[in-house]
Amino acid sequence: MPNRLAGESSAYLLQHRDNPVDWYPWGEEAFELARRENRPLLVSIGYSSCHWCHVMEHESFEDPEIARLMNENFVCIKVDREERPDVDQIYMETVVRLTGSGGWPLNVFCTPDGRPFYGGTYFPPQPHPQRASWPEVLRAVARTHREQPDQIREQASRILEALNTRPDVGPSAKLPDRSTLSQLCVQLMRRADGTHGGFGGAPKFPTPINLEAILFTASHSLPTAGGLEHTVFTLKRMARGGIYDQLGGGFHRYSTDARWLVPHFEKMLYDQGQLLRVYAEAFRQTQDPELVWPIEETIEYLEREMRAPDGGFYASQDADSEGEEGRYYVWNAEEVEAVLGAERGPMFCQAYGVSAGGNFEQTGKSVLAHVLAGERKRFASERQVLLQARARRVQPDTDSKIVAAWVGYTVSGLATAGATFGRADWVRSAEGAADFVLERLIDPAHGLMRIWDGSRAKVPAFLDDHAALLCALLDLHRAGGSDHYMEAALRVAEAIRDRFFNPEARDLFFVPEGDASLILRPGSDSDGATPAAAGLATLGLVRVAELCARADLREVVEAIIETQGPLVERVPLQFPTLVRAAALLECGMGVALVLGPPQDPRSQALAARARQLLGPDEAVVLTDPAAVPAWLGPEWMESREPTGDGPTAYLCRGKTCSLPARTPEELALPPSAP
C-alpha cells in the first residue's frame, strides 16, 4: 500500500510513496506522533535527481526488514531539499559539524522536538570496512535512545547551542572591499588547475560563483592574478569535456575526475542559468568565438527539454535511466557506427573520444568529449543524427516542479546572453519565465512562493528565491525589458528588507520569523553550487539602492556588510558573492543613461553599445526625457539632457560620467576612481 507520501506533489517524495517505510512528510503530524510516543525522528533529505538517493532507496528503503526496523523505532520523515532548503540547511550543517562533510541523501536522527543528535549521508545495507551499515546504525541509535536518553538530550542540546552560535572571528581592521576581491582572485588562482582548468582536483565542480567573481574583478580593471585567462581556459575545457552534453547541450552537475571527462549525469536548472551568465560575460570581455556555441546549445536545450508549457523552467533531469547512472548518455563504437555508418562513425569516435575500452566505469562505453578543439562545426550533422537516435532511448526522468530561485538564475542567464549578443529572442524567453513567476508564484496572502507543482503555488519563498528574482528582474531590465520589471524589482527588494532583515542583528536570515517547525531561524549559507542567499540579496540591494537612490536600502546593505564583514574578510573564498557586493558598493555602480524615444533605432543602438561596455551587475536605462520613471534616482538626471535633435547617452560610474554621446562610437566609460 502507498504510504503518506502518495498525497504529495514533490517528485522526490512521490518516488518513495511505495516504500514499506511509513514515511511522513515534514509537518506537525509527524512531530506530534514522535512526542506522544517518545520516539526519535529520522529526517531523511534528498532530491529527485540525486543518484545516491536512489541507491539508498533501492538498497534500504525498499527492503521490508530494514523498513521494519525504521518503522518500529522511529518516526520517519522524508524531505525534498529543493522544496525545503531551510530544513536541509539546518540538518546539513549538523552533519558537517559532526562528520566533517555532507551530501545527499542526508539522514539525521532527532529528538521528538526536532533537535538533531546524530546523522550522516549514505549508509550501505551491509557492513563496509569504512562505513557502518544502515541496519547497524538504526539499531545503535534506537538502543542509545532507549537506554541512555540523558546522553541523547545532552548531545542534542550541545548541537543546538553550536548551531545558534556565530563564529567568533574577533574585530576586523577593515571591511571587505575591492582589495578583498583582488585577494580572493589570488587565493582562487593558488588552487587553479593549469592543466585542465577549474580549481582543485576531483571531483570538480563548475563553480560559476567563483568565475563570476573573477570576471567582475576584471571588468572593474582590478588585478586578477591571471584569473581572466584561466576563466576562459576553464570555460573552453568544460565545454569540450564530458561534463557538457555534447549532443543535447547543457551541463551536468559535476565531473567525477579532474579532466571534466566523466560527469555525475544529473542536470540541474540552476547550473544552466548561472553558466549562461558566466559564458556571456566572458565573451563580452574577450570576444572569444569558442565561448559562443555552448551558450547557443544550452539555450536550445533549455527551450527543448526544460521549458514548461506555461512559461517556467523545470527543476532538473535525473542521472539515472533504466536503473543505471549515465546509461542514456554513453556510447560504444558499435552503437555510433550503427547510426552514422562505417565511414563517418569511426571519424566521429576519434573526434569525441569513443574508444574500444570505453572511459565510463567498466561498461566498455564512453562519455562523449570533444577532444579536438576547433572542429565543432565539422560534426554538426552527426551530432544531430545521434541526438535523434538517443531520444529513442529510455530517457531520464525530469522533475517538473518549478523553483522560483532557479528560474531566477535562468532568467539572469538568458537576459545577460540576450543583451551580450543582441538576441531579442533570448530576452523574450527570459521575459516569459519572469512573467510566469510574477503571475503564478505571487500569493496575495504570502507574497512570493517557492514552488509551482504543476497546478498550484506552494511553500512560502525563502531568501534565495527573493534574491534570485531580484537580480533576475534587474538583469532583465538591463537587457531592455520594460520598466514594470524594475518596478517589480523594487517590490522584491522591499520584501527582502521587511521579511528577512533583522535590524537588531543587522543581518539577513534565510527564513522570515514565525516557523514553529524549525528549531532555529537559519541565517544565510555560504556560496556553493548556488550563491549564498545573503550575498546575492545584498548584491541586488546595492544595485537597486544605487540606481533608485534608496538610502533606506543602502543602510541595510551597509549593516549586512559590517556584520558579516569580519568573517568575510577572514575567509573570502566562502563568500565571493558578498565580496562582489561590497566591491560594487565601493567602486560605484556603472549606469548608462540613454535619453531618447525608446523605440527610436538610434536610442536602441546607444543602449546596445552601453550593454557591451558595462558589466552584467550594472544598469542601462533607456527613457524618454519627457517621461522619466519615478523609480530612477533624481541625481542621474541632474544636468543631463539630450543634445541636438536626437537621442543622447551618458555613461557614469559612481559620481563620474562621460561626455554626452550621440553615436555608439562616441560612448565610452569614464575613468575609474583610484
DSSP 75-124: EEEEEETTT-HHHHHHHHHHHHHHHS---SSEEEEE-TTS-EEEEES---
Q: Picking from 174-188, 406-420, 464-478, which range would have the lowest pLDDT averaged per residue?
A: 174-188
Residue 620 pLDDT: 97
In DSSP terms, which residues pair with 267 in a beta bridge? 317
Residue 33 pLDDT: 97
Query: What number is the average pLDDT over the span 563-581?
Result: 94
Whether residue 270 is predicted with pLDDT greater than 70 in this model: the reply is yes
Distances (CA, A) of 254 to 263, 373, 458, 586: 5, 21, 30, 34
Query: What number is the average pLDDT over the span 265-289?
Result: 97
% the chain with pLDDT above 90: 88
Query: What number is the average pLDDT over the span 284-296?
Result: 97
Cα-Cα-Cα-Cα torsion 398, 399, 405, 408, nearest 10 degrees, comes to 30
pTM of structure: 0.95
- pLDDT digits 0-9 by tens, 468-481: 999 999 999 999 99
Query: Residue 674: pLDDT band by 50, 70, 90 thresholds?
Result: very low
Query: What number is the average pLDDT over the span 441-470?
Result: 95
Query: What number is the average pLDDT over the span 90-112?
Result: 95
Nearest alpha carbon to residue 272 among 242, 304, 289, 249 = 249
- Find where cell 524589482 sits: 489
User: Between residues 166 and 416, which one has the greater pLDDT?
Assistant: 416
Say if residues 456 and 402 touch (Cβ distance below 8 Å).
no
Say if residues 276 and 299 touch (Cβ distance below 8 Å).
yes
Query: Residue 260: pLDDT band by 50, 70, 90 thresholds?
Result: very high
Residue 171 pLDDT: 64
Residue 412 pLDDT: 98
Average model confidence (pLDDT) across the chain: 94
Cβ atoms within 10 Å of 381's Cβ, excluding its own: 11
Q: In what side-by-side order are the strands of the sheet with 267-268?
A: 267-268, 316-317, 398-399
Joined grid coordinates for residue 301 = 536545450
Cβ atoms within 10 Å of 297's Cβ, excluding its own: 20
- pLDDT digits 0-9 by tens, 484-537: 999 999 999 999 999 999 999 999 999 999 888 999 999 877 899 999 999 999
Residue 155 amino acid letter: Q
Q: Picking from 43-52, 56-65, 559-568, 639-648, which range would have the lowest pLDDT averaged per residue?
A: 639-648
Cβ atoms within 10 Å of 553's Cβ, excluding its own: 23
Say if residues 548 and 630 touch (Cβ distance below 8 Å).
no
Residue 653 pLDDT: 85
- What is the Cα–Cα distance from 438 to 128, expressed in whole angstroms? 50
Omega of the bond prior to 531 within 30 degrees of 0, cis?
no
- What is the Cα–Cα distance from 336 to 346, expressed in whole angstroms? 8
- What is the Cα–Cα distance from 473 to 469, expressed in whole angstroms? 6
- What is the Cα–Cα distance from 594 to 636, expressed in whole angstroms? 11
- pLDDT digits 0-9 by tens, 321-354: 998 999 999 999 999 999 999 999 999 999 999 9
| Sign of the dihedral defined by the CA atoms of residues 212, 216, 217, 221, in that order | positive
H or E stretch covering 239: helix 227-240
| β 648-653/590-595 pair status | antiparallel
Whether residue 267 is predicted with pLDDT greater than 90 in this model: the reply is yes
- What is the Cα–Cα distance from 96 to 102, expressed in whole angstroms? 5
Query: What number is the average pLDDT over the span 113-135?
Result: 93
In DSSP terms, which residues pair with 450 in a beta bridge? none
